[in-house]
Amino acid sequence: MSAGLREYLDGPHKAVRDVVRDGLAANAGLLNAGLDLSRDEYRDQVLAVMQQVTAEGHTGRGFPKEFGGQGDLGGFIAGFETLAFGDLSLMVKAGVQFGLFAGAILHLGTSRHHEQYLTDAIDGRLLGCFAMTETGHGSNVQALGTTATYDPATEEFVVHTPNPAARKDYIGNAARHGRMAAVFAQLVVGGETHGVHCLLVPIRTPDGESMPGVTLSDCGPKLGLNGVDNGRIVFDHVRVPRTALLDRYAQVDAEGTYSSEIENPDRRFFTMLGTLVQGRVSVGGAAINASKVALTIAIRYADRRRQFGAPGSAEEALLLDYRMHQRRLLPLLARTYALHFAQAELVDEFVRIFGSNGADNTESKGHTDGEGGLGDRDEHDQRALEAQAAGTKALGTWHATETIQMCREACGGAGYLAENRLAALKADTDVFTTFEGDNTVLLQLVAKGLLTNYRESFGKLDPLGMARFIAAQAVEIAVEKAALRTVVERLRDAVPNRNDTADPDAGLRDDAYHCGMVRFREDHMLAGVARRLKKGIDAGDDTFEVFNRCQDHVIAAGRAHVERVVLEAFLAAVQAAPEGPVRDRLKELYDLHALATIEAERAWYIEHGRLSGQRCKAITALVNELCASVRPHADELVEAFGVPGAAVDVPMVVPSQHE
């Protein structure tokens, strides 16, 4: 069964995933490098393995063929996700180099940048940085302090760090290996600021010395990912030629005239950042795969380790036979499967939108892809994709943090030992919740995504715009609720109150019941936000304060939306699975995930009249039963993830003292 299930999980890019698995197995020594080497030695070894992978052609898979790539964007993301089965410093360093630095050149530059830099970046000859985050500005990219001021006398931009808060911080590749940075700065032309744009700025000579005017420093030891050379960059009036501006969406001519086909500066900014959504797509997938590694280790350990047992029995019981141990691990296993399929849906959508239009090979003056520079992409689809990527990344990375911690606890003292990998997984994934976007901020972006059809009426997602939309949306929600009346009535019928004699177990494994419950919660929370915001606006309160009072509610509604998307993606995957053992196992996991999701929010459902106490107890009992049903197949279910042996054959699992 596990072979068929693994093939189904791997999907259309199975061959790519297998090649990466083989490469990780061949470089298994990197897994312990962080323990055995100095920090600089570890960083250099990570670089060496990355360059080996690059030489084999894997990292260029997603780039256009004319620059040495293979034009296979889906395969590129599949390969990147699979790297998370190994040393995560390698995955992150590859992400910085190929996803962020080379990706910025590809998506924000034009043909002259592609021809001059892209092949060297793809081949790893030009190592680069993605210099966006500043000490004083992380998520609020529009407020970055670094400036790039155009000097028409020399046809140069002057890149400068005006104050300590504008220092570029946490920048991967900056401390040791990077030679060039894609620098995001406020573009100043003719005394007018045109918002954040990206320029290519050399930061090191080929000999490794800092360029004049560039001060580089090391962020030092981190909680994890110490194989990545994160550093800080300060610019002191550094001059770069006018052509250093990545000018796909905005241009500056020799005389100092700024122009852009996107007149609205906010729209221009979000269009530029939207092309870089691949980072969030990839990080979410990597976090889900890191969860698979932890679960493989913890479930194998629990299926071998014995402790206590029935009174009078000569043999101790396996940890995984204990109900509480099942409760700790198996719902997380089911949720990992759910997120896997949600991620697969996201990647399919990403490839559909970006796969055939990744580069703009026009010259800087004379774009042909229309207002917004989106070419044949549908702007509505792209905005929806950004929201989906934000939500999946948020839930996937939070899930990794929760799962790895639970796996560590479930393995007791053995899980605390570095040799058993859970410590490294815990440390290396912790930052995933805040890089490529802080998860809380990303769920606010999800709320923006829900408003996509109304975006033109309120521009950017500021508090006023959000409030205006939600107030108008109250009417729309009322209409939608009327359309959902049949579903709601079915739910009401299925919820006995205290005096009911109806069977509380009725319909608990009904797919329509699961989907109806999570959709009801999403819709109800959105309607609640609408009412609260409208009430504040009608009372004449300050719009920012109105939004701020409701921000937790908005973010909770965004999370409820993503939970529903994940559940429906899992259900679709079950229905599409081949009949037989694969579908049977997936359906069991789906039921477990669906009911555990409802159970986790049982207080909300009780509060809003969707669950009675009796029904709530029935759900808890069924979750227990489903854990028991999944338990005999748990080893096969983690085997299907296909994690390379070196990554999970840790001392506490192989060999086992009890076998």
Name the residues annotated as catalytic.
436
Give the C-alpha separation, 335 to 271, whole Å: 33
Instruction: Judge whether 103 and 276 are in contact, CB under 8 Å.
Output: yes
The two tokens of residue 548 are 């701020």
| Pairing status of strand 128-131 against strand 238-241 | unpaired
Instruction: Judge whether 646 and 31 are in contact, CB under 8 Å.
Output: yes
| Cβ burial, residue 73 (10 Å; 0-12/13-18/19+) | buried
Contacts made by residues 8-15, CB under 8 angstroms, sequence distance 24+: 8/577, 8/578, 8/582, 9/340, 9/640, 9/641, 9/642, 10/642, 11/78, 11/344, 12/74, 13/74, 13/75, 13/78, 13/79
Q: For residue 230, give every residue at least 6 positions away whose Cβ sits within 8 Å of its Cβ, in sequence order, or none.
A: 170, 171, 172, 174, 175, 218, 219, 222
Output the CA–CA distances (angstroms, integers) from residue 3 to 143, 330, 334, 396, 569, in the order listed: 50, 20, 18, 25, 22
Give the C-alpha separation, 12 to 22, whole Å: 18
| Pairing status of strand 214-218 against strand 231-235 | antiparallel
Instruction: Judge whether 619 and 508 are in contact, CB under 8 Å.
Output: yes
Q: Residue 617 has what DSSP assignment? A: H
Distance separating the N- and C-terminal Cα atoms of the chain: 23
| Pairing status of strand 128-131 against strand 180-189 | parallel
Instruction: Judge whether 169 and 154 are in contact, CB under 8 Å.
Output: no
Can you say whether residue 173 is alpha, beta or left, with left for phi > 0 and alpha for psi between -120 and 50 degrees? left
The two tokens of residue 115 are 């021809």
Question: 3-class SS at 70?
Answer: coil
Instruction: Judge whether 411 and 420 are in contact, CB under 8 Å.
Output: yes
Q: Which residues pair with 450 in a beta bridge?
A: none
Instruction: Judge whether 647 and 90 are in contact, CB under 8 Å.
Output: no
Number of Cβ within a 10 Å radius of residue 530: 23
Sign, CA dihedral 419-424-426-429, equals negative
Closest CA to 42 of 29, 51, 52: 29
Q: Residue 612 has what DSSP assignment? A: -
- Cis-peptide, bond into residue 331, ω within 30° of zero: no
The two tokens of residue 281 are 């797509």
